[in-house]
Amino acid sequence: MPVIDLPDVNVWLALTDPDHAYHARAERYWANEKAPQIALFRITLLGMLRLLSNSKSMNGNPFTPERAWEISQTYLGLPEVTLYPDPPEADKHLAQWSKARFFSPKLWTDAWIAALALEHGCRVVSFDAHFARFPRLDFLHLEP
């Protein structure tokens, strides 16, 4: 089992929103499958804040920005969750993948998350299967 998980924004959203279609699956991951340490990066933190306070992603019931911030701080207050720094070495992965046949403009953010995971030795956890495209990435695809 990996030591550090890097949950994608969609996992944080599903964990937080009890009305989310994948909430039960996210809770099963958190209770039974998560690594001992959870990495939160600035990009996933900001994505979580954006989605939690967005009416469309929250089915018309968004949190206020203040409440979304409080939720993020609650997660960061958990002993297993740490805000990790972005290492400059992650850029080399973006440079390499930008030349790959599988790469498309829609993958920039996911590529950055994958690069951070590789540099910190994390397993990416996501509901999005496309993370499997990134070479050498430890990836747990949460299937609903």
CATH of the domain at 63: 3.40.50.1010
Q: Residue 1: which pLDDT band, with cuts at 50, 70 and 90?
A: low
d(CA 48, CA 55): 13
**Each residue's pLDDT tens digit, 5-50:** 999 999 999 999 999 999 999 999 999 999 999 999 999 999 999 9
d(CA 4, CA 70): 23
Predicted structure pTM score: 0.94
Q: Is the pLDDT of residue 111 over 70?
A: yes
On average, the pLDDT of the chain sits at 95
* Nearest-10 crossing angle of helices 108-120, 42-52: 140
Cα dihedral 137, 81, 36, 15, rounded to 10, equals -80
Q: Is the pLDDT of residue 2 over 80?
A: no
Supply the range of the domain harboring residue 63. 4-141
> Domain total for the chain?
1
